[in-house]
Structure 1
């Protein structure tokens, strides 16, 4: 299960189909070095995205 503390790079490895969801929310730099170490919660805060909404969509995959 993906949580707020999951690392973006790990999410992509575990659920590659999550890339589309993240991209739809404007997270276009999923391949950048910071994404490899950034927690989902941090990414959502930076992009002004509702964390709970993103978690629900990713975990429904």
Structure 2
């Protein structure tokens, strides 16, 4: 996935959940922020005083990593409920 400066923060988080850790590591309070659906990554970096190029590089690295610990409930041995 290509992460560009004009992408909305909320869209990046939805498309690549691993990027959440990056935003927290950069001390950005975008996670759960109601403005995340309106702010681009460039906006957020400027508001938080974060170097945009460093942020984008870290977001790309996180988005490229395989999701760890995200196992669908049925694959994790959850019981199914039969109705009848």
For structure 1, list consecutive stretches of 5 or more residues without a partner in the other structure.
none
Could you say what the CA RMSD is over the residues aligned between the two structures, in angstroms? 0.9
CA deviations 1:14-50 (Å, max 9, x no partner) are: 1100000011111124212101111000000010000
The alignment covers a number of residue pairs equal to 61
- In the alignment, the residues of structure 1 paired with residue 30 and residue 51 of structure 2 have an alpha-carbon distance, to the nearest angstrom, of 18
In the superposition, the TM-score normalised over structure 2's length comes to 0.68
Instruction: Check conservation: 2:8, 2:36, Cα contact below 8 A.
Output: yes
Larger radius of gyration: 2
Identify unmatched segments of 5+ residues in structure 2: 63-84
Write 1 or 2 for the structure with the bigger share of helix. Answer: 1
